[in-house]
Structure 1
Amino acid sequence: MFVFTIFVLFVFFILYKLLLIVPMREVNVIERLGKFRAVLKPGFHFLIPFFDRVAYKHEIREQVLDVPPQSCISKDNTQLEVDGLVYLKVMDGKLASYGIENYRLAAVNLAQTTMRSEIGKLSLSQTFSERDSLNESIVREIDKASDPWGIKVLRYEIKNITPSRKVIHTLEKQMEAERSKRAEITLANAEKAAMINLSVGERQEAINVSEGQKQKRINEAKGTAQEISIIAKAKAEGMELVSTALALDGGHEAMNMQLKEQFIGQVGKILNEAEISVVPAEMAKLEGFFEGMEQVTHAVSSGSAASSPVSKNSVKGGRS
């Protein structure tokens, strides 16, 4: 019974050494008597017991390696603490096994040295503004060096760029000064725009006022001209009517009476409004004055009657 058990265990051991199942996520490197034989891909495989053995197992999925923070000096002599992540994948199991001792550690160290070298080519402001180009440069340099290791560096990402406390304090002052500068520029532009708008408004106001005054003067001139024309026409018609009335019977007496009434009215007005007593110098000669006025009226009416036909003829000639 004991011998049978030993035999069964020996058979299972032989089968365990004979059969090999490689998972989907990895590849196995097989050595025969200490010498490389093959790289077995995922699946079911047979081995020669006691001759073949699995020497290395490699993850074929994309791997993420953390690059520890390290001190770097930028082009403008600024000290920075930089860390990142490197993404790689095993492309050749044989080179990953025999090309280098530990490709993970080598990739991390290479990423650190390459990152220091690339940051040394950039100024402090460029390290913040040109992260994408910096990542691409680091990936390109690491990929060249890691090609003999059978791995492929897919990408590199900088996580944090931390300047020293003194540099941070200086940057804060610089940003504050820049904000103050932008605020002053904005205020100056606003004042400039306000002054421009104010001057444009004053200019337009002056133009509108001048146009209004110009139109006012034009309207006043037109009104004055029309007024003069109407008054002249009315006077001419009035003179014509007076001349016609004087030519009729009793016209002279009516004119004389009208003049007397106007004279008496004006004298009464002067006596009422004057602050001192006003008395005509020759009250006894008022009758002679009115008789003289009658003679003057008669002379004026005679002259108007004589000149009226001539005036009418001249007016008709002018109209024709």
Structure 2
Amino acid sequence: MLSRCIRPRLLHAGSIASRRFEQKFVHTTNTLVNFVPQQQAWVVERMGKFYKVLEPGVNVLIPGIDRIKYVQSLKEVAIEIPQQGAVTLDNVQLHLDGVLFLRVFDAYKASYGVEDAEFAITQLAQTTMRSEVGKMSLDEVFRERDTLNVSIVHSINNAARPWGISCLRYEIRDMAMPETVANAMQLQVEAERKKRAQILESEGLRDAAINKAQGDKMSRILNSEANEAEQVNMAKGAAKAVQLDAEARTNAINTISQAISNNNGDKAASLALAERYIDAFGELAKKTNTMIVPAGVSEPVSVLAQAMSIYGKISDKKN
């Protein structure tokens, strides 16, 4: 009787599985009052027929009539998927292995729905992996590994749902390829890196040339604006100087005119004219060594007389 409670397992080569499935068929003695541990489900048969699933806590069973047939762990477990070969869409041979994470959500289906859940899930994962890899090229397998994992999980869940087992996630652990393909991919990676380096270098030279040209342009614009501003300021200054000089001469002429119209104005004008006349001859001596001057210019009286004669003629014309 006891020997029939422990059912044989069908093991497959290379499988390193969780102890959860190994303890699935182990007989647990019915002691009338039974304490079911947390995260476990005990499947009970009454006289050879399914009776109920015991929940964690205290449970009372009838010895001899009720028998604990299966003990299911409700914890998440990891199963190693052995390495297997797969051919990609572009005919590249790959060898992949992975880890599958499972959890029992229905103890009844997990006990009666499949003979060897571990073996069935492992085979299903291997065949699904080969099928999904065959739909993708080599570059897509490397680039879209997450998508591949999701596709495998989806396919396993569709098939394992009647068994009361849920596949939570699948992770590809290792991926091997022929040495020739690996060398070709290495050369491709190196070529791509050199290409990116050359592109970055050329972009750097281009940006440097653009920055230099923009700098020269801004420098010339600023210099031209500075020169324009300088010329405008100089022109404004010159115009202001001419205006001020004209105003000064106007004021001087008005002052002289008022002074001449007063008493003894003729004498003052004669004196000023004589001084200007003498100063002019003095300046001629500084600018050149050769001069042509009127006769008698060396006598101050004669010079003054000539200046007054000029002033008298101007006054007569004015009157």
Give the TM-score band, short-chain normalised: 0.5 to 0.7
The structure-2 alpha-carbon separation of the partners of 1:260 and 1:102, relative to structure 1 and needing over 3 Å to count, comes to: closer
- Unaligned 5+ residue runs, structure 1? 1-15, 272-277, 310-320
Indicate if the aligned counterparts of 1:29 and 1:94 stay in contact, CA closer than 8 A: no
The structure-2 alpha-carbon separation of the partners of 1:144 and 1:287, relative to structure 1 and needing over 3 Å to count, comes to: closer
- TM-score scaled by length of structure 1: 0.67
Indicate if the aligned counterparts of 1:87 and 1:156 stay in contact, CA closer than 8 A: yes
Specify the SS of the correspondent of 1:287: coil
User: Which residue in 2 is equivalent to 1:165?
Assistant: 179
Give deviations 1:47-66, integer Å, cap 9, x for gaps.
437xx866x53433243221
User: Which residue in 2 is equivalent to 1:304?
Assistant: 314
* Amino acid in the other structure paired with 2:64: I
Question: Counterparts of 1:163 and 1:306 in 2: how far apart (Å)?
Answer: 124
Please give the residue correspondences for 1:270-289 in structure 2 after superposition, counting only pairs within 5 Å. 270-271=288-289, 286-287=295-296
Cα displacement (A) at 1:114: 0.7
Greater percentage in helix: 1
Question: Counterparts of 1:95 and 1:156 in 2: how far apart (Å)?
Answer: 22
Question: Counterparts of 1:218 and 1:46 in 2: how far apart (Å)?
Answer: 116
Please give the residue correspondences for 1:171-320 in structure 2 after superposition, counting only pairs within 5 Å. 171-235=185-249, 241=256, 244=260, 248-249=266-267, 252=270, 255=273, 259=277, 262-263=280-281, 266-267=284-285, 270-271=288-289, 286-287=295-296, 297-307=307-317
The structure-2 alpha-carbon separation of the partners of 1:31 and 1:157, relative to structure 1 and needing over 3 Å to count, comes to: farther
Indicate if the aligned counterparts of 1:70 and 1:112 stay in contact, CA closer than 8 A: yes
Indicate if the aligned counterparts of 2:90 and 2:138 stay in contact, CA closer than 8 A: yes
Moved more, 253-262 or 132-141: 253-262
The structure-2 alpha-carbon separation of the partners of 1:100 and 1:22, relative to structure 1 and needing over 3 Å to count, comes to: farther
Cα displacement (A) at 1:82: 1.3
Specify the SS of the correspondent of 2:234: helix
Indicate if the aligned counterparts of 1:143 and 1:153 stay in contact, CA closer than 8 A: yes
User: Which residue in 1 is equivalent to 2:81?
Assistant: 67
User: Which residue in 2 is equivalent to 1:57?
Assistant: 70
> What count of residue pairs does the alignment treat as equivalent?
279
Give deviations 1:250-276, integer Å, cap 9, x for gaps.
8658745763574366347644xxxxx
Indicate if the aligned counterparts of 1:66 and 1:86 stay in contact, CA closer than 8 A: yes
Question: Counterparts of 2:30 and 2:283 in 1: how far apart (Å)?
Answer: 155
* Match for residue 61 of structure 2 among 29, 35, 45: 45
- Unaligned 5+ residue runs, structure 2? 1-28
* Amino acid in the other structure paired with 2:42: V
- TM-score scaled by length of structure 2: 0.67
User: Which residue in 2 is equivalent to 1:6?
Assistant: none
The structure-2 alpha-carbon separation of the partners of 1:156 and 1:215, relative to structure 1 and needing over 3 Å to count, comes to: closer
* Amino acid in the other structure paired with 2:49: R
Question: Counterparts of 2:79 and 2:175 in 1: how far apart (Å)?
Answer: 18
Indicate if the aligned counterparts of 1:39 and 1:94 stay in contact, CA closer than 8 A: no
Cα displacement (A) at 1:69: 1.2
The structure-2 alpha-carbon separation of the partners of 1:145 and 1:296, relative to structure 1 and needing over 3 Å to count, comes to: same
Are 2:149 and 1:135 aligned? yes
Give deviations 1:35-92, integer Å, cap 9, x for gaps.
x41255344422437xx866x5343324322101112122222222211122334455
Are 2:85 and 1:76 aligned? no
Question: Counterparts of 1:96 and 1:237 in 2: how far apart (Å)?
Answer: 122
The structure-2 alpha-carbon separation of the partners of 1:232 and 1:250, relative to structure 1 and needing over 3 Å to count, comes to: closer
* Match for residue 123 of structure 2 among 91, 109, 114: 109
Moved more, 104-113 or 144-153: 144-153
Specify the SS of the correspondent of 1:286: coil
* Amino acid in the other structure paired with 2:281: F
Indicate if the aligned counterparts of 1:135 and 1:156 stay in contact, CA closer than 8 A: yes
Specify the SS of the correspondent of 2:126: helix
Cα displacement (A) at 1:116: 0.6
Moved more, 294-303 or 155-164: 294-303
Cα displacement (A) at 1:112: 0.4
Indicate if the aligned counterparts of 1:29 and 1:93 stay in contact, CA closer than 8 A: no
The structure-2 alpha-carbon separation of the partners of 1:302 and 1:138, relative to structure 1 and needing over 3 Å to count, comes to: same
Specify the SS of the correspondent of 1:48: coil
Cα displacement (A) at 1:109: 1.0
Question: Counterparts of 1:19 and 1:192 in 2: how far apart (Å)?
Answer: 87
Specify the SS of the correspondent of 1:118: helix
Question: Counterparts of 2:209 and 2:178 in 1: how far apart (Å)?
Answer: 46
Question: Counterparts of 1:53 and 1:140 in 2: how far apart (Å)?
Answer: 36
Aligned residues: CA RMSD: 4.1
* Amino acid in the other structure paired with 1:132: D
